[in-house]
Amino acid sequence: MNQGLLSVTSAFSRVWLRNAQVYLTLWKFNIFPALAEPILFIFVFGIGIGSYIDQMEGVPYLEFVAPGILGIAAIMQATFECTYGSYFRMRMQNTFEGIISTPVSAAEVGMAEIAWGATRGLVTSTLVLVILAFLGVFHNPSVLLLPVITLLAAFNFAAIAIIVTSRIAQMEYFHFYFAGFVLPAQFLCGTFFPISRFPEPVQVIAWIIPLTSFVDIMRSLTLARITPSLIPETVWALGSTIILTELAVRSMQRRLVE
Amino acid sequence: MIVEAKSLHKRFHDVVAVESLDLAVERGSCYGLVGPNGAGKTTTMRMIYCLNRPTSGRLSVFGLDVLKEPRRIKARLGVVPQDNNLDPDLSTCRNLEVYARYFGIGRADAATRCHELLDFMQLRDRADSPIPALSGGMKRRLVIARALVNNPELLILDEPTTGLDPQVRHLIWDRLLDLKEQGITLMLTTHYMEEAQKLCDRVLIMDHARAVAEGSPTELIREHVSPYVLELRAGRTLNAHITSRFGHMEHRSSGQNLYFYGGSPDEFDDLLAAYSQMERLLRPSSLEDVFLKLTGRDLRL
Ligand SMILES: Nc1ncnc2c1ncn2[C@@H]1O[C@H](COP(=O)(O)OP(=O)(O)OP(=O)(O)O)[C@@H](O)[C@H]1O
Ligand SMILES: [Mg+2]
């Protein structure tokens, strides 16, 4: 039997459509709560703390944190969807078992869940983008490329979440995942201040977490600053996404087909 | 052969779930798997519909290897799992339509199929119900309807009627026989020997991961038990008395009950005359007698 990403066909979109269909019937419950955290961040950090900070890296603070807030919105939405959401569908509802009794494969279910988590990340972060645009944060046409990066960031974190979800024996393990990885990642990855402030080892860890690269790429788009570091960042952003997706898909296969 | 297994093994870590199993299911027939809890029925079925991978041995469905061609196999199968796994996020009709999409069936065809199937399983009035609002019998009928959405050649049913009332059970039996008449091959597991006897052309009795007997219900009865059984409910003290007098006849005691076996009804004449007052039942042997004889009366713990 073919394994991993290479075995995934377009049949995964049928599962993506299933999730989209369910989401659309409940969209009011899904969209607004998801915006609460990013809006809070805009007020607390951008406007609240920002009023005490003159400038960071030569721009008003809200302009500096905007890419961080966008990145966090994207990865958090994808993470919630592919941890609790996917786990619920997999274990409580046995939905995946029903799906893989059809020509759709376990690898495709994994791919569909990641793609769906990424989609939700894109939707939420795009709404945050619109709010930020209204606040007059953006000045460069290159911000139009931001949704591409938020989608990729969401995809990356959806894949990590699926790796966790497909390996844990009970939902309580998510506490460790959130406390040990997701929460630190939100603050360590150059979202609210440059990571050059950290001691060297912490910087290395921060660069390994792909969110750092995503946020930095977004920041160069919003501030229209093109630097050579964009090349390794882009390579790591894309490369880690592919590797993590491959691992997630295989992990889901192992979990669902014993 | 629609399904063919040769020395099939399945191990989960240190648990042997299926061991040295051979079976062959003919096109258009109904094949039953019976056996005590934990015998390995579900594991066998799941290997056939490609959700569990055999540890060793060969298993082919439609002549295709389950390890190599799961997608092509699953496209031609219908599956009714032991535990309902309807999609609770979707209404009754949407469950069928979304399931049809997993098979690549287009929207218009799916809608038509949905209505045909809801009619077939007598769920038409429930088309818009949310899943939690359905009774156990309705959910089961819907899972069966869902399994038919792709016009399968082989329908796999893992305990299709467990926990259902007699009306629903009879409805399901009728429908399964309709499907068989249309040429669909059926494979089912059940704990009701009456069900196996009624529906199945061949029955495989499993115990402790292995096959213990196989054949048509009549063959199994002929080979393993006497044609007639007399059941007596005498109570433990009288049982001893009866067996001291009629111990020469083939018999077995179980709790309050005594079972005597014979080749024809008149072999019991003396016994019946001697205990004419007692609660008793003289009946032809059934698959249940075979089952209990071969798998014992002990509970599986
Ligand atoms: N995923 C699994 N992991 C570990 N052990 C398993 C798994 N699935 C089944 N088993 C074990 O394999 C054996 C056979 O189980 P199976 O479900 O096939 O039995 P069954 O005949 O369907 O029983 P029942 O009549 O209770 O449904 C049991 O000992 C069971 O505990
Ligand atoms: Mg079972």
| pLDDT of the residue at A196 | 87
Closest partner CB to B103 (pick from A103, A105, A258)? A103
- Radius of gyration (C-alpha) of chain B in whole angstroms: 22
Name the residue among A110, A85, A80, A76 with its Cα closest to residue A22.
Answer: A85
Distance from Cα B51 to the centre of ligand 2, integer Å: 14
CA distance B83 to A118: 31
Lowest mean pLDDT among A228-237, B112-121, B167-176, B279-288: B279-288
Query: What is residue A164's DSSP assignment?
Result: H
CA distance B24 to B27: 10
CA distance A192 to A53: 12
Distance from Cα B39 to the centre of ligand 1, integer Å: 7
CA distance A89 to B282: 52
Instruction: Tell me, using a 6 A CB cutoff, whether residue B37 lines ligand 1.
Output: yes
With beta carbons less than 8 A apart as the criterion, state whether B263 and B226 touch. yes
Beta bridge partners of B280: B232
pLDDT tier, B76 (very low <50, low <70, confident <90, very high otherwise)? very high
Interface residues on B facing A, Cβ-Cβ cutoff 8 A: 12, 49-53, 67-68, 70-72, 74-75, 77, 79, 81, 83, 85-90, 94, 98-99, 101-104, 146, 150
Where are the domains positioned within chain A?
4-257
Q: What is the pLDDT of residues B31-65, one digit of tens each?
A: 999 999 999 999 999 999 999 999 999 999 999 99
Residue bearing tokens 């016994």: B271
What's the mean pLDDT in A127-142? 91
Closest partner CB to A100 (pick from B51, B67, B90)? B51
Residue nearest to atom 24 of ligand 1 (CA): B37
Three-state DSSP state, A194: coil
Query: What is residue A105's DSSP assignment?
Result: -
CA distance B37 to B230: 27
What's the mean pLDDT in B151-168? 95
SS3 readout for chain B:
CCEEEEEEEEEECCEEEEEEEEEEECCCCEEEEECCCCCCHHHHHHHHCCCCCCCEEEEEECCEECCCCHHHHHHCEEEECCCCCCCCCCEHHHHHHHHHHHCCCCHHHHHHHHHHHHHHCCCHHHCCCEHHHCCHHHHHHHHHHHHCCCCCCEEEEECCCCCCCHHHHHHHHHHHHHHHHCCCEEEEECCCHHHHHHHCCEEEEEECCEEEEEECHHHHHHHHCCCEEEEEECCHHHHHHHHHHHCCCEEEEECCEEEEEECCHHHHHHHHHHCCCCEEEEEECCHHHHHHHHHCCCCCC
CA dihedral A196, A198, A203, A207 (to 10 degrees): -70
B184 C-beta neighbours (distance < 10 Å), count: 19
What's the mean pLDDT in B201-226? 94
Residue bearing tokens 């609460």: A36
With beta carbons less than 8 A apart as the criterion, state whether B279 and B232 touch. yes
CA distance A96 to A102: 10
Cα distances (angstroms) measured from residue B254 to each of A239, B105, B293: 68, 54, 12
Residue nearest to atom 29 of ligand 1 (CA): B38
Cα distances (angstroms) measured from residue A167 to each of A7, A49, A91, B15, B188: 21, 40, 12, 21, 32
With beta carbons less than 8 A apart as the criterion, state whether A74 and A82 touch. no
| Residue type for position B179 | L
CA distance B19 to B7: 7
Distance from Cα B116 to the centre of ligand 2, integer Å: 30
Q: What is the pLDDT of residues A65-112, one digit of tens each?
A: 999 999 999 999 999 999 999 999 999 999 999 999 999 999 999 999
Q: Provide the ipTM.
A: 0.90
CA distance A204 to B220: 71
Query: What is residue A59's DSSP assignment?
Result: B
Considering the entire predicted model, what is its pTM? 0.92
Residue bearing tokens 């939902």: A171
CA distance B219 to B202: 9
| pLDDT of the residue at B297 | 63
- C-alpha distance across the termini of chain A, in Å: 13
pLDDT tier, B169 (very low <50, low <70, confident <90, very high otherwise)? very high
Q: Which two tokens stand for residue A139?
A: 């000045």
Checking if the pLDDT of B300 tops 60, the result is no
Nearest CA in chain B to A97: B85
CA distance A191 to A48: 16
